[in-house]
Amino acid sequence: MNNRTVGAIDDTALEEQRRFASLVFDINEAYFSQTGRHRLALTHSYGCQQNVADGEKLNGQLAEMGYGFTDNADEADIIIYNTCAVREHAEDRVYGNLGALKHNKRRKPNMLIGVCGCMTQQEHVAEKIKKSYPYVDMVFGTYAIHKLPEMVYGTLLNRKRVFDLEERQNYITEGLPVRHDGTLKAWLPVMYGCNNFCTYCIVPYVRGRERSRSSETIIAEAKQLVESGFKEIMLLGQNVNSYGNTTPGELSFAELLKRINAIEGDFRIKFMTSHPKDATAELFNAIAQSEKVERHIHLPVQCGSNRILKLMNRGYTAEKYLETIELARQTIKDAAFTSDIIVGFPGETYEDFKETLALLDKVRYDALFTFIYSSRQGTRAAEMEDPVPYKDKTEWFAELLKVQSKIAVEQYQKKIGSVVRVLAEAKGKTEGSLSGKTEHGTTCEFPAHEQLLGSFVNVKVTDAQNWSLVGEIQQ
Ligand code: 5AD
Ligand code: SF4
């Protein structure tokens, strides 16, 4: 297979994994007959939704191998950490949690411990885990999730550590069992990998080049989710706007949205992430025409200074970004926007940072996901001079939060008096209330009977509190 062709992990390879799964199932059944106890699995996925979606595939395979599930590490017979490498903090948490598992393993030497995901796809990290955490049995990368049954079988039987960090860059794995975390909201990956190489970001190195799933498979899966009662489908990709670009003749993302919108049923469509450089009129028109698609676009700007945007390799200027927002606003009535912001990119000055604040004031986001720059080994930004002390960056960060929380409250207050459509997802913070997200992605809480959990309700907004709306059901 050459570097440009996208292939699927073939059926024979998956069939082989199913055979391993059924062998493990038999071993687990034998254990149950002897002990009266089912073996239990605990998986934890760190980081982005894409990773959480991978975690559901790990769980699907574990269920097929006869494992039950637990949240309690002391009870677990197999623990898998599905890791994130986007920031150092996420990696440190994994190391901390892995360190704590040493005691579990000492108490229960037969338990299995696995580490997978983006962290392990970096050579220096895989080496560190191999050396410093000798009680970790399985270390495998983002390209080896489908090989879990073989790895579990091998470690159960031979008690030997296994490592699979091969880069199967151009492959897509279809047909893996998925165990959804809930019954209301489902993740649906439409593509994997990223070609953008933003200079701060490790993702293209650990998840490989962009490859899109076939629209036929995605639409069939969406139908199935709706038929099984899911009320929200979140389409996932690092940059959904370039969906299909690497597959000749494939639908555009805008067209895909319209086709999923045409599926019968009462459900909502969300998607993330849209890269601003590829967000087009076609996309906004598709959203405007598709009533099931939420009126909210997550369009990460990262920063407001053109100098820094260039160093980040983002492919747009602040002015171009603002034009895109304006186009979206004109096309989609009442659109809401959110963004990711990085503070303290190498070489960013306070003047640059002020341009980010100025941009926030112009766009007026409903919410932000804010990060202090974290240097990632192997990225281009990691080689850039970074003279600003971390303490200064934390001060800028605090200033950013202050500015945004004022904007958010003002944005939310504008909603008072309007009627919003909410998917009642969970019990609210106040006794006797439910909470859920509006079509703009805002949390809304309202008094309601539990019977309404899982349905869409119209709510009249009566108040706006920190980070959420409060309202009453409109009959
Ligand atoms: N440091 C800080 N934030 C980062 N992100 C990605 N890489 C880094 C990094 N090295 C943020 C970006 C991205 C989000 C998912 O994580 O804002 O959009
Ligand atoms: Fe990272 Fe940029 Fe790709 Fe997003 S678009 S995953 S920030 S490289």
Confidence bin at 427 (pLDDT 50/70/90): very high
Nearest Cα to 241, choosing from 287, 207, 289, 276? 276
Give the torsion sign (CA, 444, 239, 172, 166).
Answer: negative
Stretch 199-210: mean pLDDT, rounded? 95
Is the pLDDT reported for residue 210 higher than 80? yes
Residue 84 marked ligand-binding: yes
Q: Is pLDDT larger for residue 5 or for residue 368?
A: 368
Nearest Cα to 302, choosing from 244, 363, 391? 363
* Structure tokens belonging to residue 305: 């200074």
- 82-110: pLDDT as tens digits: 999 999 999 999 999 999 999 999 999 99
Confidence bin at 294 (pLDDT 50/70/90): very high
Share of the chain above pLDDT 70, in %: 98
- 250-263: pLDDT as tens digits: 999 999 999 999 99
SS3 category, 242:
helix
Q: How far apart are CA 259 and CA 301, in angstroms?
A: 28
Q: How far is CA 260 from CA 177, 224, 251, 448, in A?
A: 22, 11, 12, 30
| Top-level class of domain 7-171 | alpha beta
Which of 51, 87, 92, 368 to probe ligand 1 with, by most ligand atoms within 8 A of CB?
Answer: 87
Is the pLDDT reported for residue 1 higher than 50? no
How does DSSP assign 24-85, residue by residue?
A: HHHHHHHHHHHHS---EEEEEE-SSHHHHHHHHHHHHHHHHTT-EE-S-TTT-SEEEEEE--
- 107-131: pLDDT as tens digits: 999 999 999 999 999 999 999 999 9
Is the pLDDT reported for residue 470 higher than 80? yes
Which of 119, 200, 240 to probe ligand 1 with, by most ligand atoms within 8 A of CB?
Answer: 200
Res 166: pLDDT: 86
Res 159: pLDDT: 84
Confidence bin at 440 (pLDDT 50/70/90): very high
Is the pLDDT reported for residue 38 higher than 50? yes
Res 4: pLDDT: 42
Res 475: pLDDT: 75
For the CA of 85, the nearest ligand = 1
Distance from the Cα of residue 156 to its chain's centroid:
31
Res 7: pLDDT: 66
Query: Which positions ≥6 away from 110 have C-beta within 8 Å?
Result: 77
- 215-264: pLDDT as tens digits: 999 999 999 999 999 999 999 999 999 999 989 999 999 999 999 999 99
CATH number, span 419-473? 2.40.50.140
Residues 117 and 45 sit within 8 Å (Cβ to Cβ): yes
Bond prior to 43 in cis (omega within 30° of 0): no
Q: Could you tell me the distance, in angstroms and rounded to a whole number, from the CA of residue 105 to the centre of ligand 2?
A: 37
Confidence bin at 432 (pLDDT 50/70/90): very high
Is the domain spanning 174-413 CATH 3.40.47.10? The answer is: no
Nearest Cα to 67, choosing from 101, 47, 97, 37? 37
Name residues contacting ligand 2 (CB within 6 A): 194, 196-198, 201, 203-204, 238-239, 275
Nearest Cα to 342, choosing from 87, 93, 118, 52? 87
* Structure tokens belonging to residue 223: 């139908």
Stretch 339-362: mean pLDDT, rounded? 98
Q: How far apart are CA 311 and CA 274, in angstroms?
A: 20
Hey, where are the domains in the chain? 7-171, 174-413, 419-473
Res 197: pLDDT: 97
Residue 444 marked ligand-binding: no
Q: Is pLDDT larger for residue 158 or for residue 266?
A: 266
Stretch 9-34: mean pLDDT, rounded? 92
Res 3: pLDDT: 38
Is the pLDDT reported for residue 390 higher than 80? yes
Q: How far apart are CA 107 and CA 445, in angstroms?
A: 44
User: Residue with the nearest Cα to atom 16 of ligand 1?
Assistant: 86
**Mean pLDDT lowest for which of 11-15, 123-127, 143-147, 273-277?**
11-15
The helices-and-strands tally (H runs, E runs) of the chain is: 13, 21
Res 40: pLDDT: 98
Tell me the residue length of the chain.
Answer: 475
Mean pLDDT of all residues in the chain? 95
Stretch 350-368: mean pLDDT, rounded? 97
Q: Could you tell me the distance, in angstroms and rounded to a whole number, from the CA of residue 141 to the centre of ligand 1?
A: 20
Taking the CA of residue 375 as reference, the ligand 1 atom at the shortest distance is 10
* Structure tokens belonging to residue 449: 């009977």
- 141-182: pLDDT as tens digits: 998 999 999 999 999 988 899 999 888 777 888 889 999 999
Res 465: pLDDT: 84
